Chain A
Amino acid sequence: MKKRLSPLGKKLRFFKPLETYSDGWSELSPKDREWEKLYRQRWQHDKVVRTTHGVNCTGSCSWNVFVKDGIITWENQATDYPTTGPDMPEYEPRGCPRGASFSWYSYSPLRVKFPYVRGVLLKYWREALQKTSDPIEAWKSIVENPEKSKEYKEARGKGGLVRASWEEVNQIISAQMIYTIQTYGPDRIAGFTPIPAMSMVSYAAGSRFLSLVGSPMLSFYDWYADLPPASPQIWGEQTDVPESSDWYNAGYLMMWGSNVPLTRTPDAHFMTEVRYKGTKVVSVSPDYAESVKFADTWLAANPGSDGALAQAMTHVILKEFYVEKQTDYFYDYAKKYTDLPNLITLKKSGEAYVTDRFLLASDLGLDTANADWKTVVIDEETNQLVIPKGSIGHRHEGKGNWNLKMEDENGKSYQPRLSLLGVEDQIEILHLPYFDDLKRDVIKRSIPIKKLQYNGEEIIVTTVFDMMLANYGVDRGFGEGYPKDFNDLEAYTPAWQEQFTGVERKQVIQIAREFAQNAVDTKGRSMIIMGAGINHWYNADTIYRTILNLVLLTGSQGVNGGGWAHYVGQEKVRPAEGWQAIAFARDWSMPPRLQNATSYYYFATDQWRFEEHPMSSLIAATVEKPRYEHAADYNALAARLGWLPSYPQFNRNSIELQSEAAKLGKSSNEELVDYVVQQLKDNKMQFAVEDPDHPVNYPRTLFVWRANLISSSGKGHDYFLKHFLGTVDGTLSEENPELKTEEINWQKEAPIGKLDLLVNLEFRMSGTALYSDIVLPAATWYEKHDLSSTDMHPFVHPFNPAVASPWEAKSDFEIFKGLAKDFSEMAKAFLPNTYKDVVTMPLLHDSPDELAQPFGKVRDWRKGEVEAIPGKTMPKLAIVERDYTQIYDKYISLGPLLEKNPVGAHGVSWSAKEEYEQLKSLIGVVKKEGIAKGLPSLETDRNIAEAILTLSSATNGKMAMKAWEAEEKKTGLKLKDLAEDRQNERFNFADITAQPKEVISTPVFSGNNQDGRRYSPFTNNIERLIPFRTLSGRQHFYVDHEIMLEYGEGLPVFKPTLPTQAFAAYENAPDTEGKSITLRYLTPHGKWNIHSMYGDSLTMQTLFRGGPNVWMNNQDAEEIGIKDNDWIEVYNRNGVVVARAVVSHRIPRGTTFMYHAQDKTLNTPGSTITHLRGGTHNSPTRIHLKPTHLIGGYAQLSYGFNYYGPTGNQRDLKVVIRKLKEVDWLED
């Protein structure tokens, strides 16, 4: 090989004579082309790896990551999505600037590189361990010493993290866990990680470990206030929405509280493209948002007034398309798929009536199974009462004819009557609850009724449709109490809404007409994209129900291009069944403890002690007084009636109840359950929630991974800091002397620092990491095997490691696997026995528990109203055996219960026996001696991914066929054809790494995406007549639970925002010198971040002001002398945040925006009120518990993890804003 010339050598060619031509006009250059290498090498790479981002942005975009010299260099959007077919834009390409900047994190200064422990704690630990040489004793000596424990808790959030080895951190965590299990029970340990869909294996990594230990996993969808409780209320479905390409099928598209271009960046093109087909796009938004830019019409409703707007639109549609003209398409749909024809009993209230509950077969004395759970309609022709198929009673009776055919139980066909008008016995006055910004009132309206006589009792009934017309004030000649026309100010006319929304009546009438007429013309292709803008309110479910009226009444739901499209959170785990089985270790033990996070944090952070409003200010005017004045009391009720899960569970150790019972000679499981029930009945043992501030009931340990709890989702941030973590905080609130609990013991002093250990797995130094006692360096999304899916598209994407984790980082799976190993090892010495753990379980959704508490009436065993029966009138009690020495063996293997028990989801289940066997050869078996030997191996994250794909119907054709077969057995319908064409497909990890692949149609989801059809929810319910999973089996306008009626939410109503002020009347606000202004405080999603991710990266910081900022209207700003970019202080009773003002006329007057999840780690000065650094966007927020969300044990209102339950809503708040006089960086 020729030796290469050095640059200097080459340069010397200058002196070499040149070959010249054309009389010296041209010459041969002596230079080579080496210099071009620079430009070639810039884009050269050694390998390209397909992966994605696990960030709950709902994008789930496929990305290629480029690696060069072992270093991640950049990423590119994958472009090889399968086509969506002709006449439809493609999914390719997907991505956004945030995702494109992710590789910055891999080697950024924010990267957590080593395991860290807070210095104070580590010092005490090493001292104690040296002294005692017993890890449990060592931990005990620290945590039970008040000074020491106070000291390390106070140090949280103040730096001082020091490096430790993996062995040492595992030892501390294991010792702490074992101490806690011995002293208080496994339910005092908890795990919080959200959104499995964004990285399923990593979620499962920790949840599997904790489930094996018996520790609860905390929910997230409800806690994030992303769960729309209206969805289970109406459909019995958590959330099921169309993929984004289905927007392109819409004929009329509304964006309501959803800023599509900003928050659904990779999908927004479908919305912009459909406009070129002639689809009209309407945006409802209080501010001039990006979505408004793309809209043909902007309805600028005041924040929180969306319900009023939708009520008026409903009024227009009912009046013009149901009464003045009877639209056939709407009537057919209403009769077949909604509860509008159902009969409702009315209750006498003075001279008039109020609505009560669904008329049931048992009211008619009919001899049929589950008679308390079968709803009744009237046949149009015969005027006879009919028990249609499809209600929840049919669902759980196991006769296999649960469907929506228009037949009664005996197969006789019928046509339901929507209204009693014309066949009524009488016209009576109905009292309906009414709410607005100023008052709670009663609307009095005439309504046709029928009188039924059974067993000598008179039952007054009417239909849901008649109640709807009465509620909406659509007159059919009754006159009195009804508005005369659209201009009458009576509820709920277009003129009426004007006063709350500020939207002109003309505009409302026009949009309502267009929306409905489009549905008539296109058979239901009217769609509403809705989102967090309207879903984070206290009364979000009432807002949603009023808006969903529009798609239900126009027959748009369950139609491609129509219906609701709620996108808040990446909620759809496509391979659901396989994931659930592995994530909650159902292959080894049942049931796992799954806790709703809102209740957990509400009590753990003591936000419950600082409620400002009594419930009597929120109830319906048709009700005399609320059941309780304090929201927390409803939660205590919900815990003891089995409505909600409630962990920590009892004020006693759940693994010690066994020995207590044994002392009384009760050794069998049944006797143990009896003993527990008796203890509860005799009030010798309490639910922990009944005294949450007693040290015995504190939560003790929390693992947080894939989440930024403290700086992103921790609403009531400063309550977290104070009561949960015990460090410095900025709360300014006081306890309300007038508002105390009845069911919950009120400890005199609110505790400080309940939590003993906060462990955070993170790859960047986020707010949560900074407040944690132990920070473990996690792998990034470019360093592990995992799976991702979303509701926005039908693919399942892989994560693949582009490089091995640098420094000492490990994947979440490897971290928990290591911990499981060390924990099991330590347990051999300190928890050597097999323990019987008494696990309480709420009455579960999609199970026969839905039939536990009939008629929607509250019957309290403690008051002696019913007998205390586990699983019926109180929580279920399960006994789970725990052998803590075998946690690791179980963790790394797929357990035998999977072979024995069926898998499934959403109430369908089938056997996975063959797949279990198949997995043994697919992923190999465990070779380690012990109980795991010979079982399918879950020793790597890739094996887990492979097992999830194999065990799920969306990704395994054989499983899909079994699932449809199971669904056929339940419904008596022919359904298997929905997956038949793909029955031989089985996704494996290599497949989806090679190219994205569309999932297979499965009964686990309600829509059909066969043969390239775009996914839209409920299309199978509509086309295949599979009932909805509700009381009536149809879509509900009326929800009849006693507590729903207490709060006036039987029918869709308008409810104003909470009457919250910045400070309560009994509180002392800080002195304000100078000018200040009180504004509504909203925290919508931002443009340069996804929650707190990306926001702290250099790239994104550069795109906007490079630090915390708060938007306000220019006139509001002027009023208090604030100019753009001034430093301001934003505060209320919950805390203080310091930020720069962004002054813009884009923001409506009276409202301020602090875009979501701005951490206080960058450019945040101190507050003059608290003298602490800044605060986060959540410092001024807190949550309010809504009693109607706590209902359980009743049809579709039964509890499911992330399915139903109180939302962590944080929006109904006001703040005071003033100029920051002095900017103090707190650096001296």
Chain B
Amino acid sequence: MFWNQLLWVIFPYVMLTLFIVGHIYRYNYDQFGWTAQSSEFMEKKSLKWGSILFHVGILMVLGGHLVGLLVPKALTEAIGMTEEMYHAGAIFGGGFAGIITLAGISILLFRRVSVKRVRVTGSYTDMLIAFLLFLEILMGLYNTLGYNLFVGEVDYRTTLAPWLRGILLLNPNPALMEEVPLFFKLHTLFAFAIFGLWPFTRLVHVWSIPLEYLKRSYIIYRSRNAKRAVQIRQANSKSTHPSQL
């Protein structure tokens, strides 16, 4: 009981709190550290592949997770999607996305470890987060493909997903996690660990998508401090500068 409480209630909330408060803190106090810390300057060739594969893959994975976890089963069924259809989509779509992402993170991790210039110029958290992501994605892919193909289907949409929605709706039910297979559990725990570390790593760059360009006008004005402008005008009028005479 205690373990259930700790793992599926306390731990996720601690991590989510860290996630939120950490971001606010970092954004306010480390403006110049808020960056992806690109290491392209140090190495380009493998980054090109690793980075593109990983980023494309992870966006697809994100989409899959949103659909799979946040949309209740009842809703998908209501629009006529059968269990088989859903699973085929999850396995083929998710498997494809997972393989791309895994390939990407593998290249990135290998690069981070084996290229000396990247290794020595990077920070400890860069290495840690790459390693965690690698594990996380590996387990995710296993859960999607391996478990489904070799062990049997897991209907996480009746256990894990409602539990997660419970967490997000501040109504956690740890009992829902009891029947979830080990690797799904681990995948979930690692995910929350990554959320907790997130604000203190280069992952913060995720929040810096330059959305403002979408709506920005072509010409930008900046207002001068009106009060100060008046002061300066007055001061100038008293001076005997030739331009004022």
Contact = CB atoms under 8 A, between A and B. Distances in A.
Interface of A: 6-8, 11, 14, 18, 20-22, 24-29, 31, 33, 38
Contacts of A6: 28
A26 B217 contact: yes
A164 B11 CA distance: 51
A40 to B, nearest CB: 15
Contacts of A27: 216-217, 219-221
A8 B26 CA distance: 10
Nearest to A23: B217
A27 B217 CA distance: 6
B231 interface: no
Interface of B: 24, 27-28, 31-32, 211-212, 216-223
B217 A24 contact: yes
18 contacts: A8-B28, A14-B212, A21-B221, A22-B219, A25-B218, A25-B219, A26-B217, A26-B219, A26-B221, A27-B219, A28-B222, A28-B223, A29-B220, A29-B221, A29-B222, A31-B222, A33-B222, A38-B32
Nearest to B212: A14
Contact of B220 (A7, A14, A24, A26): A26
Nearest to B27: A8
A7 B222 CA distance: 18
A186 B24 CA distance: 71
B64 to A, nearest CB: 29
A28 B212 CA distance: 14
Contacts of B221: 21, 26-29
Main secondary structure of the interface of A (DSSP, over half): mixed
Contacts of A25: 217-219
Nearest to B30: A7
Contacts of A22: 219
Nearest to B29: A7
B28 A20 contact: no
A29 B32 CA distance: 21
9 residue pairs, one from A and one from B, having the closest CB atoms? A26-B219, A27-B217, A6-B28, A29-B220, A8-B27, A29-B222, A28-B221, A26-B217, A7-B28
Nearest to A32: B222
A38 to B, nearest CB: 8
A746 to B, nearest CB: 58
A24 B218 CA distance: 8
A7 B30 CA distance: 10
Nearest to B219: A26
A33 B225 CA distance: 11
B55 to A, nearest CB: 23
A7 B27 contact: yes
A707 B211 CA distance: 61
B27 to A, nearest CB: 5
A641 B169 CA distance: 105
A14 B207 CA distance: 14
Contacts of A31: 222
A31 B212 CA distance: 12
Nearest to B211: A14
A8 B207 CA distance: 12
A14 B215 CA distance: 10
A826 B218 CA distance: 82
A7 B219 contact: no
A26 B28 contact: no
B50 to A, nearest CB: 30
Nearest to A14: B212
Nearest to A28: B221
Residue of A14, A24, A25, A27 contacting most chain B CB atoms (<10 Å): A27
Contacts of B31: 7
A942 B223 CA distance: 53
B119 to A, nearest CB: 21
Nearest to B23: A8
A68 B171 CA distance: 54
B221 to A, nearest CB: 5
Given A26-B219, A26-B221, 12 more contacts: A7-B27, A7-B28, A7-B31, A8-B27, A8-B28, A14-B211, A21-B221, A25-B217, A25-B218, A27-B219, A27-B220, A28-B220
Contacts of A21: 221
A789 B102 CA distance: 68
A531 to B, nearest CB: 43
Contacts of A38: 32
A17 to B, nearest CB: 11
B207 to A, nearest CB: 10
Nearest to B32: A38
A21 B24 CA distance: 33
Contacts of B27: 7-8, 11
Given A6-B28, A7-B28, A20 B217 contact: yes
A22 B219 CA distance: 10
B100 to A, nearest CB: 32
Contacts of B220: 26-29
A317 B131 CA distance: 82
A425 to B, nearest CB: 87
A168 to B, nearest CB: 40
A24 B219 CA distance: 9
A284 B109 CA distance: 59
B33 to A, nearest CB: 12
A548 B122 CA distance: 62
A8 B218 contact: no
Nearest to B220: A29
Nearest to B217: A27
B135 to A, nearest CB: 31
Given A8-B24, A8-B28, A11-B27, A26 B218 contact: yes
Nearest to B207: A11
Contacts of A20: 217
A38 B32 CA distance: 10
A1000 to B, nearest CB: 43
Contacts of A8: 24, 27-28
B17 to A, nearest CB: 17
Residue of B211, B217, B221, B223 contacting most chain A CB atoms (<10 Å): B217
A20 B27 CA distance: 28
Contacts of B216: 27
A27 B32 CA distance: 27
Contacts of A26: 217-221
Contacts of B222: 28-29, 31, 33
A22 B217 CA distance: 10
Nearest to B31: A7
A672 B105 CA distance: 92
A7 B27 CA distance: 7
Nearest to B221: A28
Nearest to A20: B217
A26 B223 CA distance: 13
Nearest to B216: A27
A30 to B, nearest CB: 9
A1213 B36 CA distance: 58
Nearest to A9: B28
A29 to B, nearest CB: 5
A21 B220 CA distance: 10
B133 to A, nearest CB: 26
A997 B24 CA distance: 58
B238 to A, nearest CB: 27
A1192 B187 CA distance: 92
B209 to A, nearest CB: 12
Contacts of B219: 22, 25-27
A339 to B, nearest CB: 69
A22 B24 CA distance: 36
A1 to B, nearest CB: 14
A542 to B, nearest CB: 56
A31 B211 CA distance: 15
Nearest to A27: B217
Contacts of B28: 6-8
A4 to B, nearest CB: 11
B167 to A, nearest CB: 24
Nearest to B34: A7
A8 B223 CA distance: 21
Contacts of B32: 38
A524 to B, nearest CB: 54
